[in-house]
Structure 1
């Protein structure tokens, strides 16, 4: 009896199949490694502190930016030395374009500088600091007065960090307006308060409205806003605005250089306790008001029940 030998297919892969599997394994390992590296990089970036921007060589702030002839204003300039050497006799400089700053305003004073003080150099004003080391900063505040003969219009306030051995580039700053004095009225407000204790805590307020000119002002409205816990108790020159905690204080007209006052009182009651802040804000006047910096004021008073009220 003859025996047949049955041959089963070999479990071994062909050389081509082995090569394909090896390639797939290598690709999988490479993808896994790259993913891990990317994850580590992302985590490192998240943990690393954010890089701080290098300050500019010079920066300025001016207040206010709308000016009238004869008006005083300030320019604060900060310089920064990003070089790897000391800048000798470092100075902050301000210019005007297209009109030189020296043709627009006179230098009144400056602070933050050496004992020599600020000075005019050509068409600029400069604030000296002495030598400035690498990474060092200095700040000067110029006080200037607009010339009475200044022509209405606009100019760009330019600024620069300049030294005896190195000068940085001149940088452009804010746009400044010299207003026409015939069409502006600078209305400013001030607020005073006095507290009165007793069975009923009361605060009396005096609002002062002044027209710094140069033109006469009309249609002036100042809005007073008081906090919860206080109630309107009467006044002269101010009236309640509906059911809100606001008062409208109106002035029909005010000559240049003139002032007027309005008064109002607020009650806190016997159980008044804590701090109470009241604010006033000019909301309307004609002609245009060139200086928003003096359009508001505030006063805070404190009550320890109705017996003690201080402002």
Structure 2
């Protein structure tokens, strides 16, 4: 507040204008939930423009994991029609929103049973058919419970001695859960003959199956087998390894396979 003084006049106090609310904001209740638990997010949207935003909607996101991967939409209130999923967001329509007016909607959500424990930052946005405002950071939501997935990745290396190749498979569990029943299959190159292994068994034509009973989160384990060249083996020899099974579910297929190529210079000399 400040005061204006004029000669011979009474002091006049003038209060500063109130700041306009943000175009969108939200509150979450409760801020910590267990897997499968219901919670609410109340989002407010405000139109600071000098024109009406048509078919206005409150949009709800989260980062680093999408809100649609964290929770399921149960219901919503304060809307003109049903809420819906749009890409990685939930959206609540409120009709046309004139200048200077606001609306409030409440999403009722349920944390997914299979979502991994962790914390996300909720994000809000006021969007319409004729205008969209910036996405703004909101409160944090924490999900507690037992990890439901285990990211088991596979790497493959090879070393040679004379005509024999040793293939080493490394399985790494990046978590968050411990993994059990890991099964990795490997297909060795045409022109090779199975040598042997203490941890893997031969399966089918040029196939090897390796089993790891348990792999705690954040650990790795290696298994190996050997293959030998034949009298007519020459040229590049490409072998692959692929995760075939593990428990619980693996969320990342991108690291499930690996390959390595050796080169048979002669039937008795292989370079890897």
TM-score (norm 2): 0.50
More helix by share: 1
More strand by share: 2
Q: Which has the larger radius of gyration?
A: 1
TM-score (norm 1): 0.44
